[in-house]
Structure 1
Amino acid sequence: ILAWLFYFRAANDLWLTIALGCITGGILGNLYDRLGFWHDPAIISPEYRSAVRDWILLRYKDHTWPNFNIADSLLVTGACLLMLHAWVRREPANPPHATGDDDRVGE
């Protein structure tokens, strides 16, 4: 993602930068939980299991939405922004090869 942002100059586009930042944040957040860095290694019990901590629970009347965390929200937000960016992206007004001036051979 960093190579895409800086080597391929995608960081010039604000929305693409925000989308990839959300995705990177979600990846790092879930990786942090999955590797167990949040747990104190001195008090690991035999029942310890490395997992992502989903702590946000939404309920409305009889419906309960599945638990999620902020990293999951960032991943979904970033993916939605990427799809929206691809759908609404503006094409350049004058593509360099549209004029035909570059087609001269042997001069």
Structure 2
Amino acid sequence: MGRVNTDSEHPGSNPAAGEGASREPEPRAPETAAEGAEQAGGAEAVASSRAPRALLVLLFGVAALLLAADVVTKIAAVAALEGRPAVELLGGSVYLVLVRNPGAAFSLATGMTWLLALLAIAVVGAIVWLAPKLRSTGWAIGLGLVLGGACGNLVDRLFRAPGPLRGHVVDFVSLFAPDGSVWPVFNVADSAIVCGGILVVVLSLLGRDYDGTLHVRAKRGGRS
């Protein structure tokens, strides 16, 4: 009567080998810190790409809030400060004074209102075009601030006197002096543009792009 051979009768056989052969190789560990950071940035980009709608809501929500705050404060400033002396606040650190500015933020480029209006329209268009590509929360906030500020001053240039594309922007906050001699008179929109621009620049310097990717320079010989 013949015997049926079993694996236990063959000392050279290894049952675990078959199982090991079907296993997928483990992910390779990053060899350098820069490579690890790049992998982390890639994972962050994948995770953030799952919810671009949330970033769109964040961007346009920030812009809408800033625009509403800018319009309301300008209406209040015109109603309360038109034809009246400056109002001193915080012991002279802040003054409220009404100024109609034909120039850019912080009273720059006075006399080029129409060109600044067209530039603001171009900025708004560029941000709207870039919005669907966003995968970064920081960039969404920064661009939302810039968009809200640009729209706030654009509303003045389109609808205030002396006419469309030539309207003067309402400024009403002056620091340390009632006449803007220490710091140019500004408004909520100007502050939003500056803060949003600073945030975008900082993110760029840190290597964080609008699409969620993270760029890290590899250090060579102790130098970056």
Alpha-carbon distance between aligned partners in 2 of 1:22 and 1:3, rounded to the nearest angstrom: 16
Match of 1:36 among 139, 145, 159: 159
* TM, length-normalised to structure 2: 0.32
Q: Deviations over 1:12-60 (max 9, x none)?
A: 21100001101100110001111125xxxxxxxxxx5320001111116
Match of 2:140 among 14, 17, 25: 17
Structure 1: tracts of 5 or more residues without a match: 38-47, 93-107
Alpha-carbon deviation of 1:2? 2.0
- 1:55 is aligned to 172
Higher strand share: 2
Conserved? CA contact 1:19–1:79, under 8 Å: yes
- Counterpart AA for 2:129: A
Alpha-carbon distance between aligned partners in 2 of 1:35 and 1:55, rounded to the nearest angstrom: 19
Match of 2:195 among 74, 77, 85: 77
Conserved? CA contact 1:26–1:72, under 8 Å: yes
- Counterpart AA for 2:169: V
Identity of aligned residues (%): 34
* TM, length-normalised to structure 1: 0.64
- Counterpart AA for 1:5: A
The count of aligned residue pairs is 77
Alpha-carbon distance between aligned partners in 2 of 1:77 and 1:24, rounded to the nearest angstrom: 11
- 2:215 is aligned to 91
Structure 2: tracts of 5 or more residues without a match: 1-126, 209-213, 217-224
- Counterpart AA for 2:130: W
Alpha-carbon deviation of 1:3? 2.1
Mark the structure with the bigger radius of gyration.
2
Matched, 1:64 2:190: no
Conserved? CA contact 1:36–1:51, under 8 Å: no
| Structure 1 runs of 4+ with >2 Å offset | 89-92
